Amino acid sequence: MACIVAKFGGTSVADIERIERAADKVAAEVKRGHKVAVVVSAMSGVTNQLVQYCNDLSNSHDEREYDTVVSSGEQVTAGLMAIALQKRGVNARSWMGWQVPIICSEVHGKARIEQIDGTRMLDRFKEREVAVLAGFQGVTEGGRITTLGRGGSDTTAVALAAALNAERCDIYTDVDGVYTTDPRVCKNAKKIDKISYEEMLELASLGAKVLQVRSVEMAYKRDIPIQVLSSFDEAIGSDLPGTLVTREEDIMEQEIVNGVAFTKDEAKVTLFNVPDSPGVAAKVFDALAQQNINVDMIVQNISEDGAVTDITFTVPENELDKTMNALKIDDLKGAQIRTDANITKISVVGIGMRSHAGVAQTMFRTLANKGINIQVISTSEIKISVIVAKEYLELAVRSLHSAYGLDQE
Amino acid sequence: MACIVAKFGGTSVADIERIERAADKVAAEVKRGHKVAVVVSAMSGVTNQLVQYCNDLSNSHDEREYDTVVSSGEQVTAGLMAIALQKRGVNARSWMGWQVPIICSEVHGKARIEQIDGTRMLDRFKEREVAVLAGFQGVTEGGRITTLGRGGSDTTAVALAAALNAERCDIYTDVDGVYTTDPRVCKNAKKIDKISYEEMLELASLGAKVLQVRSVEMAYKRDIPIQVLSSFDEAIGSDLPGTLVTREEDIMEQEIVNGVAFTKDEAKVTLFNVPDSPGVAAKVFDALAQQNINVDMIVQNISEDGAVTDITFTVPENELDKTMNALKIDDLKGAQIRTDANITKISVVGIGMRSHAGVAQTMFRTLANKGINIQVISTSEIKISVIVAKEYLELAVRSLHSAYGLDQE
């Protein structure tokens, strides 16, 4: 009699037939006696179409109206899923973000969930009613619709799991789990059975794309185990051989490196001759934060003469124009700005590297052996990231995957 | 400085380019100093697709979920229209039914508007903000989404005009007005410049399809002049030569017959040998009303022997099965039921016929001359309807149009 949140991504509800198949899985969980809440994405392709409409009208559209438009896709799927469940004799009803309510911040287009009132859903569990929640959306205190950013339905699912005190959050998607790297780039990629929140966070933010970063953050913070599962498999829930994202303690054997991640859609910005005085970096990244630009990697080296320094950071490639505008601040008047979108960031991730020496060296030597020049290096406790020219992406990923012994036999 | 409600139908917001054109019209009204509220339908084809999804899943879907699904189309257009207006420097925001709120009855799929709170929209007129309202939708007291039935955005527009005390309600559509009959059936049909609410009500309910019946009812009750206009015309509002639907007193010269209307999608149900005792008809139509079946024409003749009688009525063809189920009541145990979907109802409508004799006779003689057999006759003060076999539809409409002098020169 567990409480489970099951989330179905866009490809898992792409058409009526797939919605029916997803409903079969939910009905099976209900039959086992579980309390189930479902979170759905928009049918695949729908959100892209809606975003396109907004962009066609105006490049600088009102984000509140954008949210109103793009949130509609999940509304459709939630209603359809409720109908599909009822058809299977399952008591179900749809919930929009504003009906729950899921109170969000006012940062339209990229809102954060502030509060979910799960009282009514919990009440209705007593009547064995399945809650079908439209993912990706919420509502501000003022009653305007918000969305959580692309992939936001994962975050909705984990947040709902936290609000309902669920035992786990099943994320049904079009792949059967999290892989050591993208199988399209490296055919030797293998599925990971269990991975820690921290590693998943690095893999997710580094472009694994299976789970939205914020959903993993939230799962980590609230300790909600996430299962990544294929909706195309016949089995359901814990019967499926997916990937379990859970606490480090729950994973017996730690690999040194668990995955090789990469991004293709980032651009590198380098500021040369920035005054090396306190507060300049703060002002630069303040200016970017005010425009809600997601800065990823930031590297600053000590300056030779103590007068000026160089700062390099990466931003999403499609926010490069916005970034350049945001950088028109007085403090950067003497600085030169160079941008390069022709890069890829490649990272190796693993909790085991905390206690193992030589992990970074393996990376650098492997790349050097292939003649790949490393432009920027950045490390954290459990990952090492490098920026290299985009043309080396596949070669670098495959070489590293093999060098760290991740290739499947 | 009038207050105007402008409604754009599905074909008028069918794509981004048409939404832009519609926004041009609204911006022009704002430039003239008018306070404008806009009501939008879904982009044409969208609602049909959404209805199809629900039907594909289940023939007996939960109407509350149906409403959740199909109301999403208007949400998209409202957001897009707000963006298009902002692009033109017009202060605008979208409103969903639940945000206003537009409180509706709980008859999902065919809800009635019970109350519109226009306070916030009126407040924002002071800031010259254009309200863009998603048509067709509302919300119940309990917070579930409702829809008003197909064509419901017209009703939203008129109800909003009443709530805002607007001077007129402009209905932009894909035709340039109301015609004396359907131009696709009779090429001599001509545009009507002015028509009374009552006549329009008869024409609308008889299948003219330009305006939803309930919108005309509401306009009549609240005395809101409606202008039917083409959104494809360059001009706007009162500059356009559309059709004005207004009070009888405001129309100088009344034609005897103002239009010939017809329906194609009705079916005739005849109950033979119904006990001719008080209350039987009430029970029959009670049973139909409980299933929310829209009964249209009802004809009962006096019975010869006083023991049994026959009752004929028409219902939408797609509700015939539902009707037959509803008629399984004890009081009809001895009755025979015969149905015929192969019929058309043809009506001539005109306020002038109140004071003119011989109008009915012209109709009957015209049809007789063409060898068309009249199955059922029903009259009101301002209309005469007959049921004939469907195959005579075009011939009957053209003959009557000509007989009443409606052909354009």
Q: A35 pLDDT band (50/70/90 cuts)? A: very high
Region of A39 please: left (phi>0), alpha (psi -120 to 50) or beta. beta
Residue with tokens 């539809």: B393
pTM to 2 decimals? 0.83
CATH number of domain containing A174 = 3.40.1160.10
Closest-CA distance of chain A to residue B106, Å: 16
Of the ranges A132-141, A229-238, A362-371, which one carries the lowest mean pLDDT score?
Answer: A229-238
C-alpha distances in Å from residue A197, one per residue of A182, A212, A228: 19, 12, 13
Model confidence band, residue B339 (pLDDT cutoffs 50, 70, 90): very high
Contact call for residues A70 and B98 (beta carbons, < 8 A): no
**Distance from C-alpha of A337 to C-alpha of B397, rounded to nearest angstrom:** 75
CA distance B84 to chain A (A): 6
Instruction: Report the C-alpha gap between A109 and A19 in whole angstroms.
Output: 26
Q: Which range among A121-135, A268-282, A357-371 shows the weakest confidence by mean pLDDT?
A: A268-282
Contact B68 A61 (CB under 8 A): no
Residues 217-276 of A with CB under 8 A from B: none
Say which residue, B150 or B229, is predicted with more confidence. B229
**What pLDDT score does A151 carry?**
85
Same domain assignment for residues A163 and A93: yes
Question: Rounded to whole angstroms, how far apart are CA atoms B15 and B19?
Answer: 6
Domain end marker among A221, A249, A277: A249
Q: Which of A249-258, B241-250, B299-308, B349-358 has the highest mean pLDDT?
A: B241-250
According to DSSP, the β-strands at B145-147 and B137-139 are antiparallel
Mark which residues 54-73 of A lie under 8 Å from B by CB.
54, 56-58, 61-62, 64-69, 71-73
Cβ distance A160 to A116 under 8 Å?
yes
Rounded mean pLDDT, B257-265: 91
Within this chain, do residues A403 and A258 fall inside the same structural domain, yes or no? yes
- DSSP letter at A174 equals S
Rounded (10°) angle between helices A46-57 and A63-70: 150
Q: Which of B57, B70, B108, B120 to mutate to test the interface with A (most CBs of A within 10 A)?
A: B57
Total count of domains within chain B: 2
DSSP string, A148-159: --TTHHHHHHHH
Task: Give chain A positions within 8 Å (CB) of B56.
Answer: 16
The first and second tokens of residue B102, run together, are 């537009």
**Phi, psi (rounded to 5 degrees) for A58:** -165, 135
DSSP string, B87-149: HTT--EEEE-TTTTTEEE-S-TTS--EEEE--HHHHHHHTTTPEEEEETTEEE-TTS-EEE--
* Closest-CA distance of chain A to residue B313, Å: 33
For B166-208, the pLDDT digits (tens) are 999 999 998 889 999 998 899 999 999 999 999 999 887 766 6
**What pLDDT was estimated at residue B207?**
64
Shared-domain flag, residues B258 and B389: yes
Query: CB distance from B19 to chain A under 8 Å?
Result: yes
- In a shared domain, residues A229 and A308: no
CB-based contact (8 Å) between A162 and chain B? no
Per cent of chain A over pLDDT 90 is 71
The domain of B307 spans 254-409
> Phi and psi for A347 in degrees, rounded to 5?
-135, 145
Distances (CA, A) of A386 to A40, A259, A313, A320, B406: 35, 14, 12, 20, 81
The pLDDT, as a whole number, for residue A237 is 67
pLDDT in tens, B327-337: 998 888 888 99
The DSSP secondary structure of B206-244, one letter per residue, reads: III-SS-HHHHHHHHHHT--EEEEETTSSS-GGGS--EE
Q: Are residue B208 and residue B329 in the same domain, yes or no?
A: no
The pLDDT confidence band at residue B28, using thresholds 50, 70 and 90, is very high
Residue B345 has pLDDT above 90, yes or no: yes
Chain A nearest-CA residue for B59: A87
pLDDT of residue A408: 79
Domain boundary at A216, A231, A249, which? A249
Are B245 and B258 members of one domain? no
Let me know: does A347 contact A206? Beta carbons within 8 Å.
yes
| A64 vs B contacts (CB less than 8 Å) | 93
Q: What CATH number does the domain containing B289 carry?
A: 3.30.2130.10
Q: Given B69, B76, B99, which is nearest A80 (Cβ)? A: B69
A24, A41: one domain: yes
ipTM of the complex: 0.82
pLDDT for res B204: 79
Asked if A120 and A219 sit in the same domain, the reply is: yes
User: Beta-carbon neighbour count of residue B122 at 10 Å?
Assistant: 16
* Chosen domain end from A216, A249, A282: A249
Co-location of B21 and B49 in the same domain: yes
Taking the C-alpha atoms of residue B255 and residue B274, their distance in angstroms, rounded to an integer, is 41
Q: Are strands B35-40 and B130-134 parallel, antiparallel or unpaired?
A: parallel
Please identify among residues 125-144 of chain B the ones whose CB lies closer than 8 Å to any CB of chain A: 143-144
Nearest-Cα distance to chain B for A90, in Å, is 12
For residue range A174-212, what is the model confidence (pLDDT) as tens digits?
Answer: 888 899 999 889 999 999 999 999 999 988 766 667 888
Contact, B102 vs B141, CB < 8 A?
no
CB atoms B76 and A53 under 8 Å: yes
Distance of CA B297 to the CA centre of its chain: 16
Question: Are A258 and A245 found together in one domain?
Answer: no
Q: Which amino acid, B408?
A: Q
CA A103 to chain centre: 20
Which residues on chain B are in Cβ contact (under 8 Å) with A67?
79
3-state secondary structure of B264: coil
- d(C-alpha B201, C-alpha B189), whole Å: 19
DSSP-assigned letters across all residues of A189-241: --B-SEEEHHHHHHHIIIII-SS-HHHHHHHHHHT--EEEEETTSSS-GGGS-
pLDDT digits (tens, 9 = 90+) for A89-120: 999 999 999 999 999 999 999 999 999 999 99
> Do B277 and B178 share a structural domain?
no
Can you tell me the mean pLDDT for B131-135? 98
Asked if A79 has any chain B CB less than 8 Å from its own CB, the reply is yes
Mean pLDDT value across residues A351-366? 88
Q: What is the pLDDT of residue B233?
A: 81
Q: CA-based Rg of chain B, rounded to a whole angstrom?
A: 22
Interface probe for B, chosen from A20, A52, A57, A74 (most Cβ of B below 10 Å), is A57
CB A268 within 8 A of CB A386: no
- Regarding whether A303 and A236 lie in a shared domain, the answer is no
Q: Which of A83, A108, A119, A147 to mutate to test the interface with B (most CBs of B within 10 A)?
A: A83
Beta-carbon separation of B58 and A83 below 8 A: yes
